[in-house]
């Protein structure tokens, strides 16, 4: 489906498009799936990937040192589907975990297959996902793009804090549905990212993300730096969904780590843009409450009211990203201010941790593993 927003075409992977690609594509795909202790989620992910159509030639699972039985699950899938292959990728100096996994996977994948699809272990995919992605690339002419996945929330508390975090990206980059060559506009989602093998190798995009905690965005920024057009599109319900975190606490403790998007390309202009977007999101509700309580000037109240109306409009627009919304979703703007404070706190923090591994921010936006 193609729509227009403010004179700009936007594209979406729609159910109609899924039906329209019922015939086989001549293209071939390697799926890269980096994992670390994903025994609770990887079986559902691999079940969806192994149900893909014939365009998927190999599914390379790159394990970063799991100790919870993840590797045994992968080996079980390999016995019934030889496309599934397990690679060991223990931590490497000067690399963050997922970036290293993607790099190892690409280096050890079959060079005959021209497309690379990177996914995370927390995704649930429809059997026609890959065929639909290839058809979308052909229709739009964009050979590197990612998908704004639908989100599964863990409960009512997650319904309060997850949507405001997602909304910070809308304030910074706008809604999905476009492709760009502008570094300041490009966005990405590593949960579902498609690109040509030749493009990734020529631009050395995975190497560029070696010291990044937001490797998906860094890869996209590197592609744009090399002159590539990178897209970010929304998928219709049922094509691909993701359960990022099992609890609201996990969301609160982990997602703000990557949301500032601090990497080698992050400079003072990105910093100003981040602060301005977060201010616009967090300002309206408390300003309106304070303004009414203190009899503020009418101009101030009108400004706060207009910004609050914009926030409500975005809340309505992002509702489709949550197929099963708890009632708390509609109250989530009350958490804008604490979410913004949390993200700024993580943007300034030098030391971060993920899955038991610690990283420290170095000059130039690099993150180095702590030994």
pLDDT tens digit sequence for 175-184: 999 999 999 9
Residue 334 pLDDT = 97
Please, what is the average pLDDT of the chain? 92
Residue 44 pLDDT = 96
CA atoms of 233 and 147, how far apart (whole Å): 5
For the chain, give every residue range classified as CATH 3.90.550.10. Answer: 2-154+173-245
Contact 279, 271 (CB under 8 A): no
State the pTM of this model: 0.92
Residue 354 pLDDT = 81
Q: Among 3.40.50.12160, 3.90.550.10, 3.90.320.10, 1.20.1290.10, what is the CATH number of 2-154+173-245? A: 3.90.550.10
Which CA distances in Å does 235 have to 11, 232, 274?
A: 9, 10, 26
Q: Which residues of the chain are under the pLDDT cut of 50?
A: 3-8, 15-22
Residue 236 pLDDT = 83
Q: State which H helix or E strand residue 173 sits in.
A: helix 156-173
Burial class (CB in 10 A: 0-12, 13-18, 19+), 272: exposed
CA atoms of 115 and 144, how far apart (whole Å): 10
Q: What is the pLDDT of residues 270-312, one digit of tens each?
A: 999 999 999 999 999 999 999 999 988 999 999 999 999 999 9
Contact 36, 355 (CB under 8 A): yes
| CA 329 from centroid of its chain's CA atoms | 20
Structure tokens at 70: 């993840």
Residue found by looking up tokens 């019922």 in the block: 22
Strands in the chain per DSSP E:
2-5, 8-13, 29-35, 56-63, 84-88, 115-119, 123-125, 145-148, 150-151, 178-180, 192-196, 230-235, 240-242, 351-354, 357-362, 366-369
Residue 26 pLDDT = 74
């Amino acid at each position: 489906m193609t729509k227009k927003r403010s004179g700009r075409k936007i594209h979406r992977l729609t159910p109609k498009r899924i039906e329209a690609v019922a015939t086989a594509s001549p293209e071939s795909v390697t799926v890269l799936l980096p994992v670390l202790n994903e025994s609770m989620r990887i079986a559902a992910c691999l079940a969806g990937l192994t149900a893909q159509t014939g365009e998927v030639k190999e599914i390379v699972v790159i394990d970063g040192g799991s100790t919870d039985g993840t590797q045994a699950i992968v080996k079980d899938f390999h016995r019934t589907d030889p496309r599934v292959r397990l690679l060991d990728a223990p931590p490497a100096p000067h690399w963050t975990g997922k970036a290293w996994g993607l790099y190892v996977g690409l280096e050890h994948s079959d060079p005959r297959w021209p497309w690379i699809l990177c996914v995370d272990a927390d995704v649930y995919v429809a059997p026609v996902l890959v065929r639909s992605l290839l058809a979308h690339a052909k229709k739009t002419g964009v050979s590197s793009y990612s998908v704004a996945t639908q989100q599964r929330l863990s409960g009512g508390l997650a319904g309060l804090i997850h949507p405001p975090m997602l909304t910070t990206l809308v304030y910074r980059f706008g809604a999905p549905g476009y492709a760009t060559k502008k570094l300041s506009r490009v966005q990405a989602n590593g949960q579902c990212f498609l690109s040509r093998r030749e493009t990734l190798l020529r631009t050395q995009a995975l190497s560029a993300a070696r010291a990044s905690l937001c490797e998906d965005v860094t890869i996209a920024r590197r592609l744009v730096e090399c002159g590539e057009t990178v897209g970010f599109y929304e998928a219709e319900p049922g094509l691909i969904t993701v359960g990022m975190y099992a609890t609201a606490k996990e969301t609160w403790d982990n997602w703000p780590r990557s949301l500032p998007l601090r990497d080698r390309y992050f400079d003072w202009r990105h910093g100003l843009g981040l602060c301005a977007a977060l201010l616009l999101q967090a300002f309206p509700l408390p300003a309106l409450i304070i303004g009414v309580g203190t009899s503020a000037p009418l101009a101030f109240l009108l400004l706060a009211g207009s910004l609050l109306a914009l926030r409500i409009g975005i809340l309505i627009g992002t509702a489709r990203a949550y197929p099963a919304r708890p009632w708390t979703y509609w109250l989530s703007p009350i958490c804008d201010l604490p979410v913004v404070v949390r993200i700024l706190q993580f943007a300034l923090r030098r030391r971060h941790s993920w899955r038991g591994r610690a990283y420290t921010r170095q000059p130039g936006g690099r993150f180095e593993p702590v030994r």
